Amino acid sequence: MPSYELDRVKLQADYAQETVTSLERTIKAAYKHKMNSRSVWRKMFQDIGFHLFWSLSIVVCLRYLFKEFNIGGLANSKFEIKTPKDIKQRLSDVRGIDEIKEELENVIKMLQYPEKYREKGCKLHKGIMLHGEPGTGKTLIARAIAGDSGCNFIFCTGSDFDEMFVGVGASRIRQLFKVAREMQPCIIFIDEIDSLISATRRSANEGSSSRATINQLLSEMDGFTKNENICVIGATNHHDTLDPAATRPGRFDKKIHVPRPDVNGREEIFKLYLDKISRSALVNAKILAQMTPGYTGAEIENLVNTAITQAIHEKKYALLLLTVFRSEAGP
């Protein structure tokens, strides 16, 4: 074969080799690009899934916190709401309060017939403070006032407005009064109110959220219009610790001291609780009242329950219940 033919074949072979090598490089680059594209898409979907997972986790945690700590809703709160038909207590059911009964009856009349007083130019009480020693019946009196006056009744305690989240207490106060305005005529009863409007809540030692809560309560009471049939009743065992800004005229301007019952009051209370148990005719309420000076209604109720329990334990039952009363009440 001539030499020029060999050179031509050699050139064609070299060209073919270069073409195959270039084609291999192109195929490898395309495959690598395809793999890189898949990695990019895979990484993007992984990132989206990761963020969705944590977003859903945060939403679930927030829903749990809102439910657990009663944030932003009166329906899920600890407040007890009752309509007049749900309230069975009446002032006639409260014994041992002869000293303040007339005063309470006047409060009930003002709540029953507010227009009768307004047309004469009278300003109704925005707040009524019941103060006295523990067990004297302040909560029962508040329910009896609502029962006799035919008002809706919202029950809560001062500690219901203390939460770990800033602003929750003030928000709950606003919601409380919003519901009360929708339920007029309405009584808002705050038991142990000293934990809410104590003078120490304004001190430097308390957080700003505590001051915001009490300020919200005071501003809500100041915001009552003359046509609003809402009354706030507070009960406390520590009247001397309350914030003067709350107890000034125009807010809790009616103060009623609930005393310990005297001997006649204790006799009525004994009769009330003795009629609910099996007892001997020898058990005399008047004698028991004379044997228990200084007892409150709650202490008398506990005494009766302790006596009947002890009588059953000792198998004395009703016939010897008087001796058990004597041993419990003392000489």
Q: What single string gives the DSSP state of each residue in 217-243?
A: HHHHHHT--TT--EEEEEEES-GGGB-
The domain that holds 300 is classified in CATH as 1.10.8.60
* Mean predicted confidence (pLDDT) in 268-284: 84
Same-domain status, 111 and 174 = yes
Give the residue among 197, 220, 192, 213 at the shortest CA–CA distance from 130. Answer: 192
Give me the domain span that covers residue 144. Answer: 80-257
SS3 186: strand
Residues 130 and 208 in one domain: yes
Both 167 and 88 in a single domain? yes
Cα–Cα distance measured from residue 111 to residue 113, given in angstroms and rounded to the nearest whole number = 6
Whether 145 has a pLDDT exceeding 90, the answer reads yes
Residue 73 in domain? no
**What predicted TM-score, i.e. pTM, was given to this entire model?**
0.70
Are both 109 and 252 inside the same structural domain?
yes
- Quickly list H helices, the chain: 3-68, 101-112, 114-118, 138-149, 168-182, 194-197, 208-222, 244-247, 263-274, 285-291, 297-313, 321-329
CA distance 137 to 119: 34
Mutual angle of helices 297-313 and 321-329, in 10-degree steps: 130
At residue 307 the predicted structure's pLDDT band, cuts being 50, 70 and 90, is confident
Write the CA distances from 273 to 62, 90, 108, 245, 261, integer angstroms.
Answer: 49, 16, 26, 40, 15
Whether the Cβ atoms of residue 233 and residue 128 lie closer than 8 Å to each other: yes
Pairing of strands 186-191, 127-131: unpaired
Q: Which two tokens stand for residue 146?
A: 């609502």
Phi-psi region of 72 (alpha: psi -120 to 50; beta: other; left: phi over 0): left
**Do 190 and 230 form a contact (C-beta atoms < 8 A)?**
no
Quick one: 97 and 220 in the same domain?
yes
Asked if 62 and 166 sit in the same domain, the reply is: no
Q: Are 46 and 3 in the same domain?
A: yes
For the record, the structure tokens of 52 come out as 């969705």
Q: How many CB atoms lie within 10 A of CB 24?
A: 10
Residues 171 and 214 in one domain: yes
For residues 209 and 91, state if they share a domain. Answer: yes
In-domain check, residue 75:
no
Q: pLDDT at residue 195 above 60?
A: yes
Share of the chain above pLDDT 70, in %: 71
Structure tokens at 261: 């019952």
Give the pLDDT score at 313.
79
Residue 202 — very low, low, confident or very high, per pLDDT cuts 50/70/90? low
Q: Across residues 247-265, what is the average pLDDT?
A: 89
Which of the residue ranges 200-204, 268-272, 322-326 has the most confident prediction, judged by mean pLDDT?
268-272
Residue 245 has pLDDT above 90, yes or no: no
Strand order through the sheet with 186-191 = 80-82, 152-157, 186-191, 230-236, 127-131, 254-257
Task: State the average pLDDT over residues 302-330.
Answer: 66
Least confident of 164-168, 199-203, 288-292, 299-303: 164-168
Residues whose CB is less than 8 angstroms from the CB of residue 320 and which lie 6 or more positions away in sequence, other chains included:
280, 311, 314
Under the banding of pLDDT at 50, 70 and 90, the label for residue 23 is: low
pLDDT grade for 69, boundaries at 50, 70 and 90: very low
Alpha-carbon distance 284 to 304, whole Å? 12
Which residue has tokens 């130019």?
A: 121
Same domain, 100 and 243: yes
Whether 128 and 144 have beta carbons less than 8 Å apart is answered as: no
pLDDT score at 80: 85
184 and 48 fall within a common domain: no
Final residue in a domain of this structure, among 257, 278, 311: 257
Residue type at position 312: I
Say which range, 105-114, 220-229, 288-297, has the weakest mean pLDDT. Answer: 220-229
Which pLDDT does position 283 carry in this prediction? 82
Assess whether pLDDT exceeds 80 at residue 272.
yes
**Are both 39 and 110 inside the same structural domain?**
no
Residue given tokens 């009242």 in the structure block = 289
Using DSSP, state whether 167 is helix, strand or coil.
coil
Is 94 among the domain residues?
yes
Residue 175 lies in a domain: yes
Calpha distance 96→269 (Å, rounded): 7
Burial of residue 287 (CB within 10 Å: 0-12, 13-18, 19+) is middle
Domain count, the chain: 3
pLDDT tens for each residue of 70-122 = 444 444 456 788 888 888 888 888 888 889 999 999 999 999 998 888 888 88
Mean local confidence (pLDDT), 253-281? 88
> CA-CA distance, 229 to 221, in Å (whole number)?
12
Which pLDDT belongs to residue 139?
Answer: 92
State mean pLDDT over 130-140: 91
Q: What is the pLDDT of residue 128?
A: 92
